[in-house]
Chain A
Amino acid sequence: MGIQVKGISSRQGLDSRGETPWQMLPISEKRQLFISGTQGLIPRIRDPKKVKLTFINPITVLEGLSEGITYIDWVSSPNADVKPGFSLEVCVKKQKKVDVSFFYIDDGRSQITKRDPKNIRALVGQANGILETQTNVRLNIKKALPLKVSQDFGTVVRKSSQFKNVPASEDEWGDLIQYRDRNADLTVFFVVNFEADMTPYIDNANAATSSGLKMCVFEDDESLGVSARTLAHEVVHLLASYQLSHTTTGLMSSSSSHIEQYFLTKNEINIINPSGLK
């Protein structure tokens, strides 16, 4: 049919790669779409209790009314039994809140994070600009406090307990576990450098997250924009655990060359915010 669907924003939770394009829609919020090639077809909502549809030419505006999945079909006539020429799947989702406590590590030696609690709103705001808009998962700042530790954390904070031939004293990740905020959904520890492999002096990881321990260790050396992407990426790890792997493109890619990519797929969004699926 040559019908194309595009979002006003690249971060609005639209996955148009499948046979049926899919849009995440928060309850009581709107998403705007450019839908071209539908001349002569009439839109019909299968469950009007879930979605409200308006047109501000050339933009189609969807508004979420109640949680769940429905379809908008473009049909050639209003008869009930006519086969749609084109359909859009819409999943209306409730908001999922993630309370995050941020601790700024100061060991009085090499690990004194350069980050400042004053900037946490900007960081979380940008991360929400990636995550909330696509998934309706919203990060809330529970705490943002300096944390002085007595241990010498060395030049690189390591997660190395997986190696039998690395001394236990090298695993500062293990030392940080005790400082978690147990009332938070996630505790983020900001440090200067972090690695979780055998080559601590080669910079591979920006951060790492354990969904079981609800903790994340997050290193310093990135700009605000890159840090916001990393935070959004880590929150997906927190919420998805082992259900999602790294990808070659998009927000879940691990490559620094994809650092400008923020896209999440329908599957990824549904795993981290399953609202509306049942």
Chain B
Amino acid sequence: MLRFLALSICFFVILSCSSSLPTHQSNDSLRNEVSDVFSSIRNNKVATKSLKHHGEDIIHYVASYINDDDKRIRLEAVNVLGTVSGEKAMAVLATALSDPSKSVRDQSAFYLYQYMGSHVVDLKTTPIQLEHELKKAYHLNEINAAAILLTAFTQLDIDSFKQNLQPPRQVYLFKEGPNVDITLPITMLLSYRGEHKAREQMHQEVETKDINKLKFMLQAITSIDSSTLLNRLAFNTLSDNRITDVKTAEGTVYQKRIMDIAYEAFVLQLGIQNLFPLKINQQYSRYDILRLQKYIGDHLPLA
């Protein structure tokens, strides 16, 4: 959970930094230079200048073109950011993973994947390699995890995955987390990518009573995107008063109710700490839990 907290904070910091970058060149001249390059592309002209030499200074100005209506503009923005590289550029680039254009999505995934210094894996990968890739994905954050899968498993669906990885394999993806069958994190990530069968399977997974699976899903909650899945996971775990061991990153073990783990995971995931203050290492009252259930019922509709 501490790692999850740290990652969430890091990701926020990265996003915040990307909007307040230091500048070496005057703001107006840099903005104009970026505008000229993108105008050339918009007017079907070849851009005469390269923006890549500006380094991180350019990110703030290029970021707005990531959401442009013109696919060519968005693709160029991705290419500029991908070449600039660095965490700040990657944070902006990650938003292009859900671009309407496949070429823009793939190109942003390529840069993200390249940035992570990984090698491309395919269906012939060994379970150990796959486990290594998954660990890396989960330890970075969910967007990078999606990037790994977009690039590395473009043809992968849940059925072919199951056929290719037999027998089932138990994995520890978090140092402090439970071990689960590798199928669960793969299903979560494929569902995150929008794969229909994986999404359907996740509808069953969130109804599980298996404590390890529930703990894993709460720990990797940023990999669950569907409003329905989050709603169901919330109601199943927020009413679960079973007590389980929780291990910190430092290796200390203490006991906690599933509902308390769920409370903290959902409050952090939804960014609602101002409405639902966290009481780390304390039990949440029935009133606290009911309030959060009502909030989730209102804000996470069922499809």
Contact = CB atoms under 8 A, between A and B. Distances in A.
Contacts of B114: none
Given A196-B226, A242-B231, A206 B299 contact: no
B269 interface: yes
A162 B200 CA distance: 20
B218 to A, nearest CB: 15
Q: Name the residue among B143, B271, B299 with the largest chain A CB count within 10 angstroms.
A: B299
Nearest to B230: A162
Interface residues of B, number: 40
A172 to B, nearest CB: 13
Contacts of B179: none
Contact of A204 (B11, B98, B199): B199
Nearest to B143: A165
A201 interface: yes
Interface SS, A side: loop
A210 B298 contact: yes
B100 interface: yes
A155 B302 CA distance: 21
Interface SS, B side: helix
A161 interface: yes
B145 to A, nearest CB: 11
Contacts of B226: 196-197, 204-205
Given A197-B227, A202-B194, A254-B228, A242 B235 contact: yes
Given A165-B95, A202-B194, A254-B203, A245 B298 contact: no
A78 to B, nearest CB: 47
Given A201-B98, A204-B303, A246-B232, A196 B227 contact: yes
A248 B204 contact: yes
Nearest to A205: B303
A163 B302 contact: no
Contacts, number: 107
Contacts of B192: 197-199
Contacts of B300: 162, 210
B303 A196 contact: yes
Contact of B98 (A173, A198, A208, A217): A198
Contact of A165 (B11, B200, B232, B297): B11
Interface string B203-220: 110110000000000000
Contacts of B196: 204, 256
Nearest to B146: A198
B301 interface: yes
Interface in B217-268: 225-228, 230-232, 234-235
Contacts of A127: none
A162 B300 CA distance: 7
Interface string B264-300: 0000011100000000000000000000011001111
Nearest to A198: B225
Contacts of B234: 242
Given A173-B301, A208-B303, A196 B15 contact: no
14 contacts: A162-B270, A162-B300, A165-B11, A165-B95, A198-B146, A199-B192, A202-B194, A208-B302, A209-B302, A210-B298, A210-B302, A212-B294, A246-B203, A246-B232
Nearest 6 A-B pairs (CB), nearest first? A199-B194, A202-B194, A212-B298, A242-B235, A196-B227, A208-B301
